[in-house]
Structures are given as C-alpha cells and as structure tokens.
Homo-oligomer: A and B are copies of this chain.
Amino acid sequence: MKIIVDAFGGDNAPLEILKGSALAVKELGVEILLVGDESRILACAKENGITLENTEILHAEKVFEMEYDPRTVMKEHSDTSLAVGMKALAEGKGAAYVSAGSTGAIVMGATFIVKRIKGIKRAAIASIMPSDKTPFMLLDCGANVECKPEHLVQFAKMGSVYMNRIMGYESPSVGLANIGVEENKGTPLQLETYALLKEKKDISFMGNAEVRDIAFGVADVIVADGFTGNVILKMYEGVAKSLTGSIKAIFKKNVLSMLSYIGVKSGMDAFKKKMDYKEYGGAVLLGIAKPVIKAHGSSDARAFKNAIRQAVNCVEKDVIGEIKRSVGEEKDED
C-alpha cells in the first residue's frame, strides 16, 4: 500500500515528516509518496541520515503557507505540496493522504480536488479524543462553521462507521453536543437534529451529550456543528494545557516538591500518554471519497507515523466503502 505524505505541512517540516515516514516504512511495511521540493527533501534526508527506502518523491516546488486563504489551494497555489499531494490522491497515485498543513486548505482541497462521497452533503473534521473512559470521536471539529440538521445526521453515521471499523467499538453510542440532556435544550439546530437522530435505526443515539460530561466519556461519537465542535475541541485542549501547566509548576516549586514527583511518576506518565493526541494519529476528514488525514501542526516523527498508520487502517478497514454503503442505505430508507 502506498500512502501520500505532504512533506511540507506543519511546524516541523520536513525533518519530522521524513523521520515519521521512514518509521512507517520500517514498522508498518508501507510505501510512501513524499510530496515536496525534491532537492530539499534529499538534502534533509542526507543531512539527518534518514533512509528513503520504499519512498518516492513527487516534486512540488512551493509550500502552502498558513496565512494563505484556504480557497486559493485549487488555483493560485495549486503548485504547493499540499495541493499536488491532493491531486495525486485524486489520480490514484496512493491509497490515502496525510498532511499537517493548513486545515482550511486540506478541507477545501479534499472537497474540490478529491471530492465528497456521493450523497454526503458536507465533509467533517473528525478527531479522536481522550476521556476518563475510552477515547471518543468529536465531529465536526471545524470544517463547517454552520451546519444543517441533516449534515449532523450524516456526521453521526460516519462517526459510527469509523469508531466501529477503526476503533472496534461494537455499537458506538452517539451523543448530540448540547447544553443539557433534556430534549428541549439548545438552538433550533439541536432541537431539529435531536428529532431526526432519534428516528434513525442504524445508529445508537443516546440523546443529548451534556457538554459538562464530554471529558468523562459520555458517548463514543459526539456530533456538533463545526463552530461548536471547534469550541469543544479547543476548550478541551486549552483547559488541559493550562491545568497540566499549573500542576507542573507545583512540582517544580522546591526540592521537596521535586522529590515528590518520584512517587507519582509512573501514574503521571500513564496519564500523559492517555492525554497525548500523538497516540491517536490525526484528524480524519470524513465524507471525502478517499482517506485524508490531517496531522496536528506540531506533530513529531511519532505522531506522523501514527497518522500514517491511521491512514493505513482507513484503507484496510474500508471505512470509505462502509460510509458509501450506509449512505446508500439512508437513501433507501428515506
């Protein structure tokens, strides 16, 4: 299997991406199509002693900078590694695509170059997140700032397929992110979505997921419009970062507190591992006709390898095929 990798997306390009790709070749047995400036890739590999075994390079001279307007990825910036990789995916030069570049440009490129699955009205950014119990999927994390109820219903179905196929959850529970558990809570979007979801027989709708309970793992799939989903994602990250920073400072206060760390180190390490997004790979764009993984901008080699593994899983477990089939079912049902 060949995975297309954007060598020039994110904060640590191209070094960590090359290292992560090399790890993936070695550990996962995949081939890699690295997209980006060939001479820079070769120089970086040589300088850092990275083998390019089972790795091809697809030359793309330019880089899609974070400050570019995402919509320019199709025309003005179609010569960037992000766009060239997307075209390679559309043309079947690889089975899946991984980039840590601009989220907006990845969404635009995936939607207009690779295209959506027929019948899917919006693609969603889906993130796997830690909880007190098992990890859950949150979608949409920001591809669509405004959504209609029928979009959220499709997100619920796509998220269920993913959590079943990739994470092995037998009948993933779906919760609608809301400001209370009662059926009459929220804006018209939540009210209408609730009414649609409770009629769906092919998902396990558990009702409203009270936002306060999300970090406790109240549902396996949390659906939200892209604005609300992005707020949930970023509050989770922000509060976790702020609190762990405070805890760290407490341990660093003096000799006694530093010594205290010894007694809790193993517990803290396990906790850090659970909270670490790098363990879960990247965010997946659900609803696109081929697997597209958006790696975290600050991904290191291990996070890239995990994002590539996630891409491999999506291909092997035929997530796209299953979404296509369930969208087909939906049509029959309606």
Q: Mark A142-158, 1 if CB is under 8 A from B, else 0.
A: 10011000000000000
Nearest residue, chain B, Cβ from A244: B243
Residues on B with beta carbons closer than 8 Å to the beta carbon of A244: 243
Residue in A239, A259, A267 whose Cβ sees the most chain B Cβ within 10 Å: A239
List chain B residues, Cβ under 8 A from A179: 142, 145, 227, 230-231, 234
Determine whether the beta carbon of A246 is less than 8 Å from that of B177. no
Whether, in the assembled complex, A119 has its beta carbon less than 8 Å from a beta carbon of chain B, the answer is no
Chain A 233-261, CB-CB to B under 8 Å as 1, else 0, gives 01111111111111101110100111111
A145 touches B212 (CB 8 A): no
Q: Which residue of B242, B249, B259 contacts A263 across the interface (Cβ within 8 Å)?
A: B259
**CB atoms of A186 and B145 under 8 A apart:** yes
For the complex formed, measure the closest distance between the CB of A186 and the CB atoms of chain B, giving whole angstroms: 6
Which A23-56 residues have C-beta < 8 A from chain B? Answer: none
Residues of B within 8 A of A245 (CB): 132
Task: Give CA–CA (A280, B113) in the complex, Å.
Answer: 52
Contact of A216 among B215, B228, B238, B259 (CB under 8 A): B238
Distance in angstroms between the alpha carbons of A39 and B242 in the assembled complex: 48
Closest to A177 in B: B231
Residue A3 interfacial (CB < 8 Å)? no
Q: Please, which residue of chain B has its CB at the minimum distance from the CB of A270?
A: B250
Contact of A228 with B230 in the complex, beta carbons under 8 Å: no
Smallest Cβ distance from A259 to chain B, in angstroms?
6
In the complex where A246-B271, A260-B261, A263-B260 touch, is A239 in contact with B231 (Cβ < 8 A)?
no
CB within 8 Å of B: which of A196-253? 210-216, 227-228, 230-232, 234-247, 249-251, 253
Contacts of A257 in B (CB 8 A): 263-264, 267
A183 to chain B minimum Cβ distance, whole angstroms, is 13
Give the shortest distance, in Å, between A257 (CB) and chain B (any CB).
Answer: 5
Known: A179-B231, A230-B179. A253 touches B236 (CB 8 A): no
Contact B271 A263 (CB under 8 A): no
Cβ-neighbour of A239 out of B227, B236, B258 (below 8 A): B236
Q: Closest B-chain residue to A271, C-beta based?
A: B246
- Identify which of B132, B146, B231, B264 contacts A232 (C-beta below 8 A): B231
- 7 closest cross-chain pairs (CB), A and B: A260-B263, A250-B267, A235-B235, A215-B242, A212-B234, A260-B260, A211-B234
Between-chain CB contacts (< 8 Å), 14 pairs: A145-B179, A186-B227, A210-B234, A211-B235, A212-B237, A214-B238, A228-B231, A231-B235, A239-B240, A251-B267, A253-B264, A257-B264, A260-B261, A260-B262
Give the B-binding residues of A (Cβ under 8 A): 131-132, 142, 145-146, 177, 179, 186-188, 210-216, 227-228, 230-232, 234-247, 249-251, 253, 256-264, 267-268, 271
Q: A212-B241, A235-B235 provided; 19 other pairs, C-beta below 8 A?
A: A131-B242, A132-B245, A179-B227, A211-B238, A212-B237, A212-B238, A213-B238, A215-B241, A215-B242, A227-B228, A239-B243, A240-B243, A243-B244, A250-B267, A253-B264, A256-B262, A257-B263, A260-B260, A260-B263
